[in-house]
Amino acid sequence: MHAYCIEGGYPIKGTIRASGNKNAALPCIAAALLTDEPVLLRNIPDIEDVQVMLAVYRALGGQVHATSPNEYCMSLGNITTSEIPEEYARKIRASILFTGPLLARTGKAMLPPPGGDVIGRRRLDTHFLVLTELGATVTGNGAFTFTAPALQGADIFLDETSVTATENALMAAVLAAGETILTNAASEPHVQDLCRMLVSMGARIQGIGSNILIIQGVKRLSGCEFTIGIDFMEVGSFIGLAAATRGELTIQGPLLRDLRPAKIAFGKLGITWEHEDTAVYVPPEQTLRVNCDMGGMIPKIDDAPWPGFPPDLMSIVTVVATQVTGTVLVHEKLFESRMFFVDKLIAMGARIVLCDPHRAVVSGPTTLSGAELHSPDVRAGMAMVIAAMCAQGNSIIRNVYQIERGYENLALRLSSLGGRIHRMG
């Protein structure tokens, strides 16, 4: 099993280019299933989750060719099976994103239980809701079979603002007969990317970027060339790393509009950055101090569906807060197990009170000590990397497979910035 060996106490410094958005790449790969013409996807991050999704596409009968770094040409004339292989489904929750396209193309989809991060209960009910509203029938318990001889547009209210359920509904609805209205839809930048890709294939979608999407079904979609947007989760992680290590970093690629929620949340920790054109500059030696609310009250950093602060950055702000003067309440509202990784930070010397599965009070700054750690999921794993790079002494992080599901060539890229990080195994 691979691991990272990290010697802490060295500020990062330099320039790095942001990777393509993992959470846009995965549904866009699934969307390539909606046409029998070639699809060229650019700016695809070289991460484990992408490789698993491409493997599913191949297993369904598709051909995939890497035409250049981070670029793939995909083609699938005739789908040879409607069954998503269990070996891939259990590796990645995003395997469920093939359900909508399979129903639209073949009228059937067989889904084993999807895997992914263990960060709490991650219900599938909203997927079932949107697909049954479009005319599908679902049978099974654990493994599911979806059938829909003909999808029909519908007026659908999502019972939660689920990103993947919104994406599944979009991919099914674009080839359904008639009009579909999705209310309480997710509107994250990666959902917008999927919408723009579908439009470039000939889909008719209104309301992109809002929580009400109107889709006029079409009979077929064509191939396309599409470039995935920048991964603002990765950008937020690197901003946090630079600030926590007192480093200096330029990140090329991010769009200012995608960073506005993060700028408010990081600002509560005294972290600032400059933004010019398509680059972010994090200055060195920032005065990291909690900015209290009016009346000197302890501030709260909490997550919310877009355009709120992304839940995927909650682990990052938690570890960064250990290096900031003052006290802050971190409130992770969506997943009841995401905050459990703070036990490892406490063992390293962090002053954190875990109030309940969703809330933690962090007081800093504290000097962290190197430790042996185990990554439970993508974002907590990256938080552990930040903690290890701040700590005194050496740390070993195991199960880095989880981290590399979301961060491209992380050890190599951080080494190029002066981080003392080595990938073992």
Tell me, yes or no, if the two domains 3-19+230-424 and 22-227 fold the same way.
Answer: yes
10-residue mean pLDDT profile of the chain (425 residues): values are 94 96 97 97 95 96 95 94 91 91 95 62 80 93 88 96 96 98 97 98 98 97 97 96 97 89 96 91 93 93 94 95 97 81 95 93 96 92 97 96 93 97 92
List the structure tokens of 208.
């992109």
The dihedral region occupied by 296, where left means phi > 0, alpha psi between -120 and 50, and beta the remainder, is: left
Q: What is the pTM of this model?
A: 0.93
The CATH code belonging to domain 22-227 is: 3.65.10.10
Domain covering 3-19+230-424, topology? UDP-n-acetylglucosamine1-carboxyvinyl-transferase; Chain (3.65.10)
Q: Which residues pair with 302 in a beta bridge?
A: 331
Contact 401, 374 (CB under 8 A): no
3-state secondary structure of 318: helix
Residue 51 to residue 327: CA distance in whole angstroms:
41
Contact 66, 46 (CB under 8 A): no
pLDDT recorded at residue 126: 92
pLDDT recorded at residue 119: 41
| Residue 132, number of CB atoms within 10 A of its CB | 15
List the structure tokens of 191.
């959902």
List the structure tokens of 6.
């990290």
Residue 377 to residue 123: CA distance in whole angstroms:
18
Question: Smallest Cα–Cα separation from 101: which of 180, 32, 162?
Answer: 32
Question: Smallest Cα–Cα separation from 310: which of 260, 371, 347, 355?
Answer: 260
Q: Which long-range contacts does 279-283 make (Cβ < 8 Å, 24+ apart)?
A: 279/250, 279/251, 279/252, 279/253, 279/254, 280/235, 280/239, 280/250, 280/251, 280/254, 281/249, 281/250, 281/251, 282/238, 282/239, 282/242, 282/243, 282/247, 282/248, 282/249, 282/250, 282/251, 283/248
DSSP 48-78: HHHHHHHHHHHHTT-EEEEEETTEEEEE-SS
Give the type of residue at 301.
I
Contact 232, 258 (CB under 8 A): yes
Which residue do the tokens 């995939």 mark? Answer: 64
CA 273 to chain centroid: 22
Q: Is 356 a catalytic residue?
A: no
Contact 299, 317 (CB under 8 A): no
> Which residue is catalytic, options 36, 46, 117, 125?
117
Contact 239, 313 (CB under 8 A): no
Spans of all domains in the chain: 3-19+230-424, 22-227
pLDDT recorded at residue 118: 41
pLDDT recorded at residue 117: 45
